A and B are shown apart, each in its own frame.
Chain A
């Protein structure tokens, strides 16, 4: 077993044991924090498929995170107020069922990723970073000024949505839902990296010319990766909205895109558990540093700077060393 595998196992186990400990010690807020880590890590796992595997540096993933969030918000809002979502041409009702909401979030964000990706992937490099940012900003301003669903005030859902057989209001049960989804996404991402598609996508990142000369179109590979990536981040958005029982345009903000990206860079780009390690560290830092001083952002900034300058390859890169070639 490589050091990275051991580290991943420790991380996965730690993220599970910490809230279980908090449950026994009756510290429900610690469970909420762990849930937050799991959900934001999930968003990162999504972005990492585009960014790590595909080399597509998207600064617009908040678009999908927000769409997932609003999928939850809009469906639950209509269910809560007993008003149909739409009546023509056919009746669509709101819902408070998590699985249904997740499916809608996945589908809606995948569709958005298809459109945004199809246009954005015509560019590359910094231009790609900026055009994805532009799409994120468009949705941000749209969400703020669109009055139907609360505008900047956002939408509040009074009771968390339901999952058959579970009490989602119980923090530990909701945590387990998020954890299982994160685990599933990690497994999927691991499989994807080793799959034929992963091989081709990874090659397209390194040498697009080669991929073309073997008869595969890099654009379509990347678009597919972007859609998968956006869908997973959208699912995370729906869960995040359920964690807060609230959605607002801030989920669409460029800072949100930046934060998701920072989890990945902190943890280690293209590392399977990079987003998990990054989100855990970032949230732990926020929690600990926040207690030190009113100006704790300065310390956070200095720490992040230290990581970039002295811990290359993020946490996992530093702890586990150079990635071994697959197999």
Chain B
């Protein structure tokens, strides 16, 4: 494999990682502040994609679609938080798992009821379509570069939000000590609703951004959910920094593993079985990565709490 191709694949891994980060950030935020396992996070991702597709189809504007994804997912998140999630903070993880699993069922079939069983159309805006030539002669899709940029901007925004704003102070207080928040006179119900809606909105935005180059269909959120969990667990639950590093690690492992493993096996096997064995191993690779990280560091790379 040429050096240039390797660079391009590393870029692809990075890009995949950033896409994962967009979904994982909201999940880790909600977990860190509220201690809530939210299986329905993938559904919010799906809601964002559907809202964007519907809006873009109606208005012809991708940007409006993005705005709609953010709004729809945040609204759905706030609604769910007030109606259901709020009652679950003091429950153990098992109740949260069951309740948010129930939410997946409701969201998935509700979406199918509203939008039908066929995938929706959502494409990237003309201005961002097609490849650009990078230094070194790599042709790379502009939209994917945009995703990398947006993802990094959101990461930066989250760091600033948490380190520099009043909301960030409250979030940090919430992570360390719930009683302290109440003592500080902060309306904890409002804080939780806001954080949950923020996490949901991020998931929705990710759904719209990613949906433009994937398939907008019912059930699109579940594989993403599992990957997002893998990411935040590797990074350490509750840590935005961990989520970013975990995302990139998973993105690189998955992409490079899929490319390099079959090549490696070809060195000592016939090509057909090398491809088969290499691909099989590659599909297990991120889970192997996660298991190894947890065996070495039982609370993830940046997880503080046991």
Contacts and interface: CB of A to CB of B under 8 A. Distances in A.
Chain A directly contacts chain B within the complex, with at least one CB pair under 8 Å: yes
Contact of B284 (A138, A264, A304): A138
A265 B39 CA distance: 16
A122 B295 contact: yes
A142 B287 CA distance: 11
Given A145-B276, A302-B102, A135 B237 contact: no
Contact of A308 (B99, B290, B306): B99
A124 B98 contact: no
B306 A126 contact: no
A123 B237 CA distance: 13
A90 interface: no
A305 interface: yes
Most chain A Cβ neighbours within 10 Å, of B84, B237, B287: B287
B103 to A, nearest CB: 7
A254 interface: yes
Given A145-B279, A269-B94, A301 B290 contact: no
Most chain B Cβ neighbours within 10 Å, of A134, A145, A261: A134
Interface residues of A, number: 46
Contact of B105 (A135, A144, A145, A300): A300
Contacts of A265: 94-95, 97-98
Given A57-B93, A309-B87, A298 B110 contact: yes
Contact of B98 (A51, A133, A308): A308
Interface in B80-118: 84, 87-88, 91, 93-95, 97-99, 101-106, 108-110, 112-113
B242 interface: no
A174 to B, nearest CB: 30
B280 A134 contact: no
A27 B290 CA distance: 48
Most chain B Cβ neighbours within 10 Å, of A51, A124, A305: A305
A129 interface: yes
Contacts, number: 133
B300 A127 contact: yes
13 contacts: A119-B295, A122-B295, A122-B298, A126-B237, A131-B295, A134-B230, A134-B288, A137-B226, A145-B280, A295-B110, A298-B110, A301-B109, A308-B102
Given A137-B284, A144-B283, 8 more contacts: A126-B31, A130-B233, A130-B294, A141-B283, A265-B97, A298-B110, A301-B106, A312-B95
B233 A309 contact: no
Nearest to B294: A131
B105 A142 contact: no
A262 interface: yes
B302 to A, nearest CB: 13
B291 interface: yes
Interface string B280-306: 100110011011001100111001001
B229 interface: yes
B93 A129 contact: yes
Contact of B291 (A51, A119, A266, A307): A119
A147 B275 CA distance: 13
Interface residues of B, number: 44
Given A134-B291, A145-B276, A127 B299 contact: yes
Nearest to B104: A301
Interface in B232-288: 233, 237, 276, 279-280, 283-284, 287-288
B37 interface: yes
A210 interface: no
Contacts of A119: 291, 295
Given A123-B298, A124-B306, A129-B93, A134 B287 contact: yes
Given A147-B276, A302-B106, A124 B287 contact: no
A126 B110 CA distance: 29
A297 interface: yes
Contacts of B303: 127
Interface in B29-47: 31, 37
Contacts of A301: 102-106, 109
- What 8 A-B pairs have minimum CB-CB distances, sorted nearest first? A301-B105, A145-B280, A301-B106, A304-B102, A297-B109, A123-B298, A141-B283, A134-B287
A295 B276 contact: no
A14 interface: no
A130 B290 contact: yes
